[in-house]
Amino acid sequence: MHPAHFHVTVDVVALTITDGVLKVAVVQRDSKTSCIDQRRNGDVREIPRDSKHHWALSGGHVRYDTENINEAAARELFEETKIKVDPESLVQLGAYGALGRDPRPGRTVSIAFLAFQPMFSDPIAGTDAKQARFFSVLDLLTEPNRLEFDHELMLLDAIQRVREMVLTTPIATSFCPPQFTMSELREVYEVLWHPAYDKEISDADRQRLAAELRRYENSDEYQLLSSLKNQSARGNTESRTAQPRGLSSGSVYSRIESEFPEFRYQLAQMPQERLNQITKILMTEAKSNVPKKPEIKKRLDPANFARKVEKIPGFIEKISDSELRSSMSGTGRPAQLYRRGDIQRLDPPLRLEVKRGKGKTKWD
């Protein structure tokens, strides 16, 4: 008979896609309250990490006498990120209980969950960004921002699982707004199949691919674009004074100054209408300069993708008597809107030709 020396914890991988980038909810715990596998880097590899770069999945102990593990997962997620999910919607990834994942006395077994129930468009509202935020998954796989060792494993397992699930269940729609266009849905699949998320890829390759995507995300234009998007989406005026971070190159601003010479002094007093004009120009400029999303596995053929998806009964429904939506990029013909259907499983499953045999499989 073995004494009860176990800690049972839960960790939640909450995924979302914003602006074509896969992101995961992470928290920054201070060492006092951190209970799961702190400072786990020593025995695997030495990773440069400071307090600003120390992220972990949200999670914590299961209350042993009052809650089921999925309830614990939902509770921890809410407590730490303010994301509210139905415990039943959480998908269990499995138990991670390797020896030595926790240096404290006893033994910790953590059960990982996957969440994407809500549409995380503007998530973790009301939480201090220092403590919880969505973070680009690729960033968490490159150097300065690495997750705990086995949180990284959980994350990769989670992505693997999501790939399976978007082919067999309608959860891909959870990454989209309630009303979405075909290309928004298609982008979910294109993003998820970026080769950098492959589990069996070499670390060097992942670093290279991640760096590529990172360059894209960190480009001034992308930063500007997403901040403008948020601004115009919620029409919040608070960000009028907050300058988009990372903006340093002058090409965009110089154009504004040429068209609006009074910019420098009158921005604060400018009427909203004029500000919208400026925003529009900024977005246009940004869009035209954002580099192409680098080598997504397979740019899916829009026509064929749409046909395939529409053929699956109950997956999505055309919103017939509704407005069309202008496409993500602003240009192009406005698109038909869809909403998610009412089925639980895709039947038949969606099939993308995912050539798995990249490096190792032998083809004669």
Q: Which residue matches tokens 């999670």?
A: 59
One of 41, 97, 127, 160 touching its own copies (CB under 8 A): 97
The partner in contact with residue 284, picked from DNA, its own copies, none with C-beta cut-offs of 5 to 8 angstroms by kind, is DNA
One of 64, 144, 259, 326 touching its own copies (CB under 8 A): 64
Tokens describing residue 342: 């009412």
Query: Which range binds its own copies by CB under 8 A, 2-10, 14-22, 43-51, 327-335?
Result: 2-10
Angle, CA of 97, 98 and 103, to the nearest 5°:
95
Q: Assess 156 for contact with DNA (CB under 7 A).
A: no
One of 79, 122, 262, 301 touching DNA (CB under 7 A): 301
Q: Assess 94 for contact with DNA (CB under 7 A).
A: no
Q: For the CA atoms of the chain, what is the radius of gyration?
A: 22
Q: Assess 107 for contact with DNA (CB under 7 A).
A: no
One of 336, 339, 341, 343 touching DNA (CB under 7 A): 336
- Strands of the chain, DSSP E: 6-18, 21-27, 56-61, 91-96, 107-115, 132-136, 316-318, 338-340
Packing angle of the helix pair 220-234, 251-259 (nearest 10 deg):
50
The candidate with the shortest Cα–Cα distance to 336, out of 311, 306, 301, is 306
Q: Assess 79 for contact with DNA (CB under 7 A).
A: no
The partner in contact with residue 251, picked from DNA, its own copies, none with C-beta cut-offs of 5 to 8 angstroms by kind, is none
How big is the site for its own copies, counted in residues (CB under 8 A)? 39
User: From the CB of 158, what's the least distance to DNA, in Å?
Assistant: 26
Q: Assess 202 for contact with its own copies (CB under 8 A).
A: no
Packing angle of the helix pair 203-218, 220-234 (nearest 10 deg):
60
The candidate with the shortest Cα–Cα distance to 180, out of 44, 316, 43, is 316
Q: Are strands 91-96 and 56-61 parallel, antiparallel or unpaired?
A: unpaired
Q: Which residues contact DNA by CB under 7 A?
A: 181-183, 280, 284, 301-304, 306-308, 311, 324, 326-336, 351-353
Q: Which residues contact its own copies by CB under 8 A?
A: 1-8, 35, 61-69, 92, 94-95, 97-99, 106-107, 109, 111, 313-314, 343, 345, 347, 356-357, 361-364
